[in-house]
Structure 1
Amino acid sequence: MSAIKRYFREEAKVQMLVLGHPKPSDFYLSVWQTTRSAVPLLIWRSFLFLVSLGVVLASLILYILASKAGYWFIYLTHWGLTINTFATGFAVAVSARSYLYGPIVDEEEELNHALDVSVHGVNSLVMFGLLISASQPSRMWHIYQPLQFAILYVIFSAIYYAAGGVDASGNRWIYSVVDWSSPGMTIGVVALTGLLLAVLHFVVMGLAVARNALASKLFHDSVTVHGQEGVPLRRRPSQLHTSNA
């Protein structure tokens, strides 16, 4: 219990609201590895990115073939897929940057069933895979990030309704439970969704803590990849030549 209190006491600090983190290696080294190579996470993240991109493209192409491409952009699920693709893409970029140029230091540097399952299920599995394979922390105060995303979509849906927008079937709503012709019920659904989002954020925090604890238990003290920030991830050819000499 004391460990839990200590954890939340640390997370509740106001400085946790910012995006800074003292260990840059947490963003390109997996908690599950015992080396300082950026390759394992680069390969894994590349796979997750390709899966995300494939689902987005497959979904969008089907909408284009059905001559309903414009409606693809009105669904929250598709917004989520796009965010997932960007998230995995940036993760690949971070890993690739670390592999090609060395450690990042603290200073700032430069419409069928299968598709339905993919856009609602595979995206969750992809983000879960991204979470459990990394080392970066999940901050309590960073709940403002998913809330911002949700609020932006709520505003969009209201503007879309007010402008006379319809879904691919001609309905005045994008989702039947978010029907702005019944604003009272819609606001209630939005509030309940916000509460659920907060709960899920704490679930993600718990998964990140469990991930670190499990990796530490499995590898014990051999997990030293995060001990020395700025240590080269791999030797350069010139270094190998000097060493052999």
Structure 2
Amino acid sequence: MSAIKRYFREEAKVQMLVLGHPKPSDFYLSVWQTTRSAVPLLIWRSFLFLVSLGVVLASLILYILVSKAGYWFIYLTHWGLTINTFATGFAVAVSARCYLYGPIMHEEEELNHALDVSVHGVNSLVMFGLLISASQPSRMWHIYQPLQFAILYVIFSAIYYGAGGVDASGNRWIYSVVDWSSPGTTIGVVALTGLLLAVLHFVVMGLAVARDALASKLFHDSVTVHGAEGVPLRRRPSQLQTSNA
């Protein structure tokens, strides 16, 4: 219980609102590895990115084939897919940058059933895979990020309704539970969704903590992968020649 209190006491600090983090290696080395190579996470993240990109393209192409491509952009699910693709893509870019140029220093800145399952389920599995394979922490105060995304979509859906927009079937709503012709009910649904989003954010935090604890237990802290932030992730050819000489 004391460990839980310490954890939330640390997370409740106002400085946790910012995006800074003292250990850059947490963003390109997996908590599950015992080496300082950027390759394992680069390969895994590349796979997750390709899966995400494939689902987005398959979904978009299907809408194009039925001449309803414009409606693809009105669904929250597709917004989420796009964000997932960007997230995994940036993760690949970070890992690739570290593989090619060495470690990042702290002072640097750096419409069918199968498709339905993919856009609602595979994307969740992809993000889960991204979460459990990394080392970066999940901050309590960073709940403002998913909330901003949700609020932006709510505003968009209201504007879309007010402008006379319809879904691919001609309905005046994008999702039947978010029907702005019944604003009271819709606001209630939005509020409950926001509450659920907060709960899910804490679930993600718990998963990140459990991931770190399990990895630490399995490896018994025998190898400090992230100890020296400036240590090269791999030797350059010139370094190999020098050592051989």
Give the TM-score category using the shorter length.
Answer: over 0.9
The Cα of 1:231 is off from its aligned counterpart by 0.6
Q: Distance in 1 between matches of 2:197 and 2:221?
A: 36
Q: Deviations over 1:30-49 (max 9, x none)?
A: 00000000000000000000
Q: Distance in 1 between matches of 2:180 and 2:111?
A: 25
The runs of 5 or more residues in structure 2 that have no matched partner are none
Q: Which moved more, 1:136-145 or 1:101-110?
A: 101-110
Q: Deviations over 1:75-97 (max 9, x none)?
A: 00000000000000000000000
Q: State the SS of the aligned residue for 2:166.
A: coil
The Cα of 1:221 is off from its aligned counterpart by 1.8
- The match for 1:24 is 24
Q: Deviations over 1:92-135 (max 9, x none)?
A: 00000000000000112461000000000000000000000000
Q: Distance in 1 between matches of 2:220 and 2:102?
A: 26
Q: Which runs of 4+ in 1 moved over 2 A?
A: none
The Cα of 1:160 is off from its aligned counterpart by 0.1
Q: Deviations over 1:19-74 (max 9, x none)?
A: 00000000000000000000000000000000000000000000000000000000
Q: State the SS of the aligned residue for 1:221.
A: coil
The Cα of 1:222 is off from its aligned counterpart by 2.0
Q: Deviations over 1:177-235 (max 9, x none)?
A: 00000000000000000000000000000000000000000001223111111110000
Q: Distance in 1 between matches of 2:115 and 2:223?
A: 40
- The match for 1:127 is 127
The Cα of 1:143 is off from its aligned counterpart by 0.2
**1:33, 1:223 within 8 Å by CA — same for their partners in 2?**
no
Q: Deviations over 1:134-177 (max 9, x none)?
A: 00000000000000000000000000000000000000000000
Identity of aligned residues (%): 96
- The match for 1:223 is 223
Q: Distance in 1 between matches of 2:226 and 2:63?
A: 45
- The match for 1:77 is 77
- The match for 1:65 is 65
Q: Distance in 2 between matches of 1:178 and 1:124?
A: 22
Q: Distance in 1 between matches of 2:237 and 2:33?
A: 24
**1:216, 1:223 within 8 Å by CA — same for their partners in 2?**
no
TM-score by length of 1: 0.99
The runs of 5 or more residues in structure 1 that have no matched partner are none
Q: Distance in 2 between matches of 1:158 and 1:189?
A: 14
- The match for 1:49 is 49
- The match for 1:149 is 149
- The match for 1:38 is 38
- The match for 1:104 is 104
- The match for 1:163 is 163
**1:72, 1:78 within 8 Å by CA — same for their partners in 2?**
yes
Q: State the SS of the aligned residue for 1:222.
A: coil
Q: State the SS of the aligned residue for 2:48.
A: helix
Q: Distance in 1 between matches of 2:109 and 2:77?
A: 33
TM-score by length of 2: 0.99
Q: Which moved more, 1:220-229 or 1:176-185?
A: 220-229
Q: Distance in 2 between matches of 1:51 and 1:240?
A: 36
Q: Distance in 2 between matches of 1:230 and 1:153?
A: 41
Q: Distance in 2 between matches of 1:91 and 1:110?
A: 12
